[in-house]
C-alpha cells in the first residue's frame, strides 16, 4: 500500500457563471488540492455540503476538466490525454442510484454497456455470463438482468450501480456518497460489500461522505475539505484522536458518542455565521470568517499545506 496510484498537484476547478451580458463570475469549487492515494487503500473525503468533495472526485476522473494543476495515474500524467483507455481503470459509483441508471434500459443492458464499449466479451454467451456473475457478486440474482431500475429498492439500485462500475474490472473507484441516500441498515451492507470487494480485487477507493463514523470505519486515511480547500489529511484513527485544524475539531465535536456520560462531558464547538459563497471566497484562509482562533495573518495570507507530523498534513497559520 506504499505505492501511489493517484496523485494530484495544485489541482483547481472553476465553473463559469453568466451574470449578465458579457459578464461572468466563477465558482471556485476546488482550489490547490495536493494529495495522493496509495494502491489498495481507501482515502475518505469529508466536509460540508458544497465544499467541493464531489467536484474533486469527478475532476480526478476527468468527468470535469481541470482548470489548472496536474493529475497522475500510476505515475502517468493524465491531465490532458484521451481518457478512453483509463475509463477501464477508473470508475465512479454515484450518490443517487435512481438518477444514475437509465430507466429505459434493463439491468443487463446497463451493466453490459461498458462490456460492449471496451469489447470485453468475445461472444454473446460470454457477455451474458459476465453480467450474471457481476450481479451475483453484488448480491443480486441473475434473473434480475431482465428487469428495469424502477422495479428495485434504493439499496438494490445502488448494487446495480456498483456492478456497472465493476464491469470493466477497474483499479480505482470514486465512491461519491454511495450510502447517503440509503437506510442505515442498508448502508452497512453496502459498506461491508465495498470492503469485501476491495480485499478480493485489490481496489483503491476515494470514499466521499458526510457521515464521519462511516468514513472512519472504511477509510485508511481521511481528508477534510472546506470551501474548496483541503485543510487536513491524516491516518483515520490519528485524525479522530488528534485533529489539528480548527475546522476538523469542529467536525469531530459533532460526531455522536454512544456513551451518554461522555457525550455530556465533552465540549461541542459551534461555528458562527454561514459558509461563504464559493463565487466570492474570503481572502487568506477561507475558514478565518468562522474560526474562533483566527489572527490578523489568517485574513491576509493563504496558509501553506505542510506535514506537521508523520503523514499528518494541514494548512493553518496557528499550528
The pLDDT score that the predictor gives to residue 243 is 93
Enclosing H/E stretch for 68 = strand 68-73
153-164 mean pLDDT:
92
- C-alpha cell belonging to residue 197: 470487494
**With 90 as the cut, is the pLDDT of residue 313 above it?**
yes
24-35 mean pLDDT:
91
Residues 40 and 2: their CA atoms lie apart, in Å, by 9
The pLDDT score that the predictor gives to residue 1 is 58
Count of Cβ atoms closer than 10 Å to residue 262 Cβ = 9
**With 90 as the cut, is the pLDDT of residue 97 above it?**
no
Residues 47 and 205: their CA atoms lie apart, in Å, by 17
CA dist 278 → 16, 189, 229 (Å): 12, 35, 11
User: Which pLDDT tens digit goes with each residue over 180-203?
Assistant: 878 888 888 999 999 999 999 999
Q: Which segment of 54-58, 270-274, 308-312, 315-319 scores lowest on mean pLDDT?
A: 270-274
The pLDDT score that the predictor gives to residue 230 is 95
Three-state DSSP at 80 gives coil
Cross-strand bridge partners of residue 13? 30
The pLDDT score that the predictor gives to residue 147 is 94
CA dist 229 → 5, 28, 53, 121, 191 (Å): 22, 10, 10, 42, 27
The pLDDT score that the predictor gives to residue 181 is 78
**With 80 as the cut, is the pLDDT of residue 258 above it?**
no
Domains and CATH numbers, the chain: 4-89+170-242 (3.40.50.300)
Q: Which residue has the cell 459558509?
A: 275
Which range in 11-25, 103-117, 250-264, 270-284 is most confidently predicted, on average pLDDT? 103-117
pTM: 0.91
Distance from CA of residue 148 to its chain's centroid?
Answer: 27
Mean pLDDT, the chain, whole residue set: 91
**With 70 as the cut, is the pLDDT of residue 16 above it?**
yes
User: Which pLDDT tens digit goes with each residue over 127-156?
Assistant: 999 999 999 999 999 889 999 999 999 899
Cross-strand bridge partners of residue 36? 7
- pLDDT confidence of 211, banded at 50, 70, 90? confident
**With 80 as the cut, is the pLDDT of residue 266 above it?**
no
271-288 mean pLDDT:
88
User: Which pLDDT tens digit goes with each residue over 72-90?
Assistant: 999 999 999 999 889 999 9
238-263 mean pLDDT:
85
Answer for the pair 212, 180: CB distance below 8 angstroms, yes or no: no
The pLDDT score that the predictor gives to residue 2 is 73
Q: Which segment of 7-11, 83-87, 240-244, 255-259 scores lowest on mean pLDDT?
A: 255-259
Residues 293 and 317: their CA atoms lie apart, in Å, by 10
**With 80 as the cut, is the pLDDT of residue 303 above it?**
yes
Residues 264 and 270: their CA atoms lie apart, in Å, by 15
| One-character DSSP codes across 111-167 | HHHHHHHTT--SSHHHHHHHHHHHHHHTT--GGGGGS-GGGS-HHHHHHHHHHHHHT
What percent of the chain is modeled with pLDDT above 90? 71
74: closest CA among 63, 85, 66, 64? 85
What Rg do the C-alpha atoms of the chain give, in angstroms? 21
Amino acid at each position: 500500500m506504499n505505492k501511489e496510484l493517484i496523485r494530484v498537484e495544485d489541482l483547481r476547478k472553476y465553473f463559469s457563471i453568466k451574470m449578465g451580458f458579457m459578464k461572468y463570475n466563477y465558482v471556485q469549487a476546488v482550489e490547490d488540492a495536493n494529495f495522493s492515494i496509495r494502491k489498495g487503500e481507501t482515502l475518505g473525503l469529508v466536509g460540508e455540503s458544497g465544499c467541493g468533495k464531489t467536484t474533486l472526485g469527478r475532476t480526478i476522473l476527468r468527468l470535469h476538466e481541470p482548470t489548472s494543476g496536474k493529475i497522475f495515474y500510476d505515475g502517468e500524467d493524465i491531465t490532458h490525454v484521451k481518457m478512453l483507455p483509463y475509463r477501464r481503470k477508473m470508475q465512479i459509483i454515484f450518490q443517487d442510484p435512481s438518477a444514475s441508471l437509465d430507466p429505459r434500459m434493463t439491468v443487463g443492458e446497463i451493466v453490459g454497456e461498458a462490456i460492449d464499449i471496451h469489447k470485453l466479451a468475445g461472444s454473446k454467451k460470454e457477455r451474458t455470463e459476465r453480467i450474471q456473475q457481476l450481479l451475483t457478486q453484488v448480491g443480486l440474482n441473475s434473473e434480475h438482468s431482465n428487469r428495469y431500475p424502477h422495479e428495485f429498492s434504493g439499496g438494490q439500485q445502488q448494487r446495480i450501480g456498483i456492478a456497472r462500475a465493476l464491469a470493466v474490472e477497474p483499479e480505482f473507484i470514486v465512491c461519491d456518497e454511495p450510502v447517503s441516500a440509503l437506510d442505515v441498515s442498508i448502508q452497512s451492507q453496502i459498506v461491508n460489500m465495498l470492503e469485501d470487494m476491495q480485499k478480493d480485487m485489490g481496489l483503491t477507493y476515494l470514499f466521499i461522505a458526510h457521515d464521519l463514523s462511516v468514513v472512519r470505519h472504511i477509510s485508511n486515511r481521511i481528508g477534510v475539505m472546506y470551501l474548496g480547500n483541503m485543510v487536513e489529511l491524516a491516518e483515520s484513527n490519528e485524525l479522530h484522536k488528534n485533529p489539528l485544524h480548527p475546522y476538523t475539531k469542529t467536525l469531530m465535536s459533532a460526531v455522536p458518542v454512544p456513551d451518554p456520560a461522555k457525550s455530556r462531558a465533552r465540549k461541542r464547538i459551534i461555528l458562527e455565521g454561514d459558509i461563504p459563497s464559493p463565487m466570492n471566497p474570503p481572502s487568506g484562509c477561507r475558514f478565518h470568517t468562522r474560526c474562533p482562533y483566527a489572527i490578523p495573518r489568517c485574513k491576509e495570507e493563504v496558509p501553506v499545506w505542510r506535514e506537521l507530523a508523520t503523514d499528518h498534513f494541514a494548512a493553518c497559520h496557528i499550528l
